[in-house]
């Protein structure tokens, strides 16, 4: 197995006035029920992940708990150093923007196709992404990764594999925010 290009170890996101102390006292062995009984809400409990070249990492979480946000932000911080750029569609979640602002990571936004028939953005197609890539000045900017969102808030999902292949051809790791996938019915 090749060296991971993104690595996060033992990520916790716990809300509540006592969260920090309780985490310390528990020595990392967080029992969500006990924490809840003591006024804390556990969003992320000891999550670790590695992404090697060519692999896909999907982050899923039920909105409102801040679980997906915490993991997305960890992934972004692992993906890019301050001053480096990440390519992303304009419909990324605010947690992505906040991570970039906090870490001085430069988001390079690309437009997504809009459907006048539905009034929604269309899922990103390979044709669209190729066109986006053609218009990016890769030589002038230090782009170190790509973020994709699928499915969208309205439920549209992209065919991710060919999109990721395009990114990998440029040696760019991809983080897919599938937070809305929790609500998707798969037949
Ligand atoms: C696309 C997307 N990503 C991430 C999140 C954040 O999810 P959470 O509230 O679990 O942090 C949301 C929340 O609505 C979202 O819509």
Residues with CB under 6 A from ligand 1: 61, 63-69, 72, 93, 95, 149, 153, 177, 179-180
pLDDT one-digit tens code per residue, 57-96? 776 655 444 678 888 988 999 999 999 999 999 999 999 9
Q: Note whether residue 28 is domain-resident.
A: no
Residue 185, pLDDT > 80, answer no
pLDDT value for 183: 67
Say if CB 1 and CB 52 are below 8 A apart.
Answer: yes
Residue 187 confidence (pLDDT): 62
Does any domain span residue 46?
no
**Ligand 1 pocket test, candidate residues 68, 92, 150, 176, most atoms within 8 A of CB:** 68
DSSP 3-state helix, strand, coil percentages of the chain (rounded to 5)? Answer: 35, 25, 40
H/E segment holding residue 46 = strand 41-52
- Rounded average pLDDT over 37-47: 91
Rounded percentage of the chain residues whose pLDDT exceeds 70: 91
Interval between CA 1 and ligand 1 midpoint (Å) = 31
The reported pLDDT for the residue numbered 60 is: 63
* Residue at 168 is within a domain: yes
pLDDT value at 158 more than 50: yes
Residue 79 falls inside a structural domain:
yes
3-state secondary structure at position 171: coil
What pLDDT score does 64 carry?
Answer: 47
- Report which of 65, 59, 119 is spatially closest to residue 92, judged by C-alpha positions: 59
Predicted pLDDT of residue 25: 95
Domain total in the chain = 1
Instruction: Give the chain's end-to-end CA distance (angstroms, integer).
Output: 33
CA distance 14 to 26: 13
In a domain, 35, yes or no: no
CATH number at residue 63: 3.40.640.10
Per the CB < 8 A criterion, the answer to whether 93 and 149 are in contact is yes
Q: What percent of the chain has pLDDT over 90?
A: 66
Q: Give 179 Cα–ligand 1 centroid separation in angstroms.
A: 5
| Residue 93 Cα to ligand 1 middle (Å) | 6
Quote the ligand 1 centre to 69 CA distance (angstroms).
Answer: 6
Residue numbers of the domain that contains 142: 53-177
Q: What does the DSSP assignment read for 103-152?
A: HT-EEEEE---B-TTTSSBPPPPHHHHHHHHHTS-TTTS-EEEEEEE-S-
Residue 3 lies in a domain: no
149: number of Cβ within 10 Å: 26
Please indicate, yes or no, if residue 183 is contained in any of the structural domains.
no
Q: Which atom of ligand 1 is nearest to the CA of 70?
A: 11
Residue 50 to residue 46: CA distance in whole angstroms: 14
The answer as to whether 83 is a domain residue is: yes
Residue 6 has a pLDDT of 86
Q: What is the pLDDT of residues 111-143, one digit of tens each?
A: 999 999 999 999 999 999 999 999 998 889 999
Average of per-residue pLDDT values in the chain? 89
pLDDT score recorded for residue 180: 82
Q: 121 and 142 in contact (C-beta within 8 Å)?
A: no
Mean pLDDT across 7-25: 92
- Calculate how far, in angstroms, residue 98's C-alpha sits from the geometric centre of ligand 1: 13
Q: Is it the case that residue 44 has pLDDT exceeding 80?
A: yes
CA-nearest residue, atom 11 of ligand 1: 66
- Residue 172 is predicted with a pLDDT of 96
Which atom number of ligand 1 is nearest to the Cα of residue 69?
Answer: 11
Is the distance from CB of 76 to CB of 101 less than 8 angstroms? no
């Amino acid at each position: 197995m090749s060296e991971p290009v993104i690595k996060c170890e033992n990520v916790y996101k716990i809300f509540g006035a006592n969260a920090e102390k309780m985490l310390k006292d528990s020595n990392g062995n967080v029992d969500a029920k006990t924490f809840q009984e003591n006024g804390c809400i556990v969003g992320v409990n000891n999550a670790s992940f590695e992404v090697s070249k060519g692999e896909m990492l999907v982050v899923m979480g039920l909105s409102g708990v801040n679980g997906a946000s915490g993991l997305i932000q960890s992934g972004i911080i692992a993906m890019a150093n301050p001053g480096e750029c990440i390519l992303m569609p304009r419909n990324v979640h605010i947690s992505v923007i906040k991570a970039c602002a906090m870490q001085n990571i430069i988001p390079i936004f690309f437009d997504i196709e809009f459907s006048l028939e539905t009034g929604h953005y269309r899922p990103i197609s390979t044709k669209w992404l190729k066109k986006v890539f053609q218009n990016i000045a890769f030589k002038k900017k230090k782009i170190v990764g790509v973020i994709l969102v699928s499915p969208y808030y309205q439920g549209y999902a992209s065919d991710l594999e060919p999109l990721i292949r395009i990114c990998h051809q440029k040696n760019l790791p991809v983080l897919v925010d599938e937070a809305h996938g929790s609500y998707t019915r798969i037949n």
